[in-house]
Chains A and B, each alone.
Chain A
Amino acid sequence: MNKEIRVMVCDDSAIMRRLIKTALELEPSMKVVCEAKHGRDAIDQLDPTRPDIVVMDIEMPVMDGVEAVREIRKLGRTLPVIMFSSLTSRGAEASLDAIAAGATDFATKPTGAGHIQQALESLRRDLIPKLLQWTAGKRADSIATVSPAEPTPAFATRDAEGSKRGVAAIAIGVSTGGPQALSKLLSGLPHDFPAPILIVQHMPPVFTGLLAERLSAQTGHCVREAADGDRLTPGTILIAPGDYHMVASRERDGVHVRLNQEPPENACRPSVNPLFCSLGNCFGDQALGVVLTGMGQDGTRGAQSLKACGARVYVQDQESSIVWGMPGQVAECGLADRVLPLDQIAFQILRVVGSGIREPLTASTS
């Protein structure tokens, strides 16, 4: 028998509450059990309505969404809270604040033209999949999208890493849970880190720029959003801007970043796959792909490409991942050289970068 998923919708806009309810009604397993008008209202309704998941607006009167998340966590409630944010710098900033305060994930609100059908389509595309994903374990009929495979033991070495050349460039792919994971990983690297790092974090425009600013402040590294033509130099840390794929391109004067708007892969732009593939093409066995926490399977095709070039692939382990979708898929496909707890990834990167940095950006693919 299917278990019904009880959803609380907290938004000061009656229209938005109605839109979300209408969109959810198309999912037979979901039921809106509470419509709260602001954060305080949501907290007051938690006990009487017993939701399994909360969709939380950010800017609301009385108590905003960020404060509400803090209060919910203070109460010891672990239910998923999905922030529902506008695609603005204010919305992006608040979403990142909310995630730091304990929100589970975020989705962006419909923008632009106000046609109800377009708004509903946007909800079905951006919000509903996240609700389904985060409640998959509660639905008896759910198909687990997080890999059900047994976790590969940490430090399982699947090929002779010792025989490889050192790493000259690193690409990181990450999605849900990314801001915290990236902050922790980058904090473990020295400020004179000698190789470039390219990051694809599944996020929309505006969010990626703000994330770069925050990571700079948190880690002391200079992290910035990539611009087309940026040259890779030692210590460069670039994040792909939202809505653009980022690839590495070997050109006459070195390796550069190129941005493009080719079709999304795995419904993602930026996608991890093009980045990993391009890094393998530019650096061959001196490339390293790292897949961190995230839903879905983006990165698997890229990891295959890296392995075909003789490059290394590391993935975050299940225990330290918020969602073991992307890394789990790579591990299950036998593409991971190492499956590591988050707090050991920086150490392992430092170990393999050492011998690859003598001529970091002129490495050939041969």
Chain B
Amino acid sequence: MTPFIIAPRPSEPSGHDRISHQSLALMVQDVLTTMLELPHHALNGSPATDVPDQLMAAVRVSGSWQATLQIYAPEQLARRIACAMFAQATDVLDDEDVLDAFGEVVNVIGGNVKGMIDQDCTLSLPCVGAARPDPTSTSLMIMYDVCGAPLTVELIQA
């Protein structure tokens, strides 16, 4: 399913019917640190509404436990993620590379979310498009500054 497996931490609970803020944050940090090696720090507050060229990638977890995982980042950060993932310079990557890489990030995090749920679930293919996070959302949402750009991760459990 995912090329880069990040094992759930032994101290993390499993079999729960929900994912905590902390466990989601650890999964995202693992991806940023281990898979992409990108400098980052957590942000507080609501996502900004004036970020240009926002991309969104999403996967759906379906089955006896259901949720949608969405990540948002400006195109510039998505490109930076693709560079890190493919270990190549920006100028050799095309738009498809950027979309694939951004989709892979949500796929990896989604795979780990699914792995923590001790229930029979399936993960959809990732889809990537242009969208902005809803600052009024009450879903589980965490934000990071990654290389000076905002990365928002939202888990809608339903």
Contact = CB atoms under 8 A, between A and B. Distances in A.
A111 B4 contact: yes
B87 A115 contact: yes
Main secondary structure of the interface of A (DSSP, over half): loop
Given A112-B34, A113-B34, A115-B87, A87 B5 contact: yes
A58 B101 CA distance: 21
B12 to A, nearest CB: 15
Given A61-B122, A90-B115, A112-B34, A19 B1 contact: no
A13 B5 contact: no
Interface string A9-42: 0011111101100000000000000000110000
A14 B103 contact: yes
B115 A119 contact: no
Contacts of B34: 112-114
Nearest to A120: B87
Interface-central residue, A14, A37, A86, A88, by most chain B CB under 10 Å? A14
Interface string B93-126: 0000000110110010001000100000011110
A113 B101 CA distance: 16
Contact of B1 (A60, A112, A113, A119): A60
Interface string A31-67: 0000001100000000000000000011111000000
11 contacts: A12-B1, A13-B104, A15-B101, A58-B1, A60-B1, A61-B124, A86-B5, A87-B5, A110-B4, A114-B85, A116-B87
Contacts of A202: none
A117 interface: yes
A89 to B, nearest CB: 10
Contact of B86 (A90, A113, A116): A116
Contact of B107 (A13, A38, A116): A13
A258 interface: no
Given A12-B125, A113-B4, A116-B86, 10 more contacts: A11-B1, A14-B100, A14-B104, A60-B1, A61-B124, A61-B125, A86-B2, A87-B5, A88-B7, A115-B87
A119 B7 contact: no
A109 interface: yes
A15 B123 contact: no
A119 B3 contact: yes
A117 B86 CA distance: 9
Contacts of B3: 13, 15-16, 19, 109-110, 114, 119
Contact of B35 (A38, A57, A114, A117): A114
A111 to B, nearest CB: 5
Contacts of A59: 1, 111, 123
Contacts of A38: 125
B35 A113 contact: yes
Contacts of B25: none
A116 B85 contact: yes
A117 B88 CA distance: 11
Nearest to B114: A59
B36 interface: yes
Nearest to A16: B3
Interface in B1-40: 1-5, 7, 34-36
A12 B107 contact: yes
Contacts of A86: 1-2, 5
Nearest to B100: A14
Interface in A62-115: 86-88, 90, 109-115
A126 to B, nearest CB: 13
B104 A109 contact: no
B87 A18 contact: no
A100 B125 CA distance: 27
A85 B125 CA distance: 18
Interface centre among B4, B86, B104 (most CB of A within 10 A): B4
Contacts of B4: 110-114, 119
Contact of B100 (A15, A61, A109, A116): A15
A110 B4 CA distance: 6
Contacts of B104: 13-15
Contacts of A110: 3-4
A113 B3 CA distance: 10
Nearest to A14: B100
Contacts of A115: 87
B85 A88 contact: no
A87 B107 CA distance: 17
A113 B108 CA distance: 13
Nearest to A90: B115
A230 to B, nearest CB: 26
A109 to B, nearest CB: 6
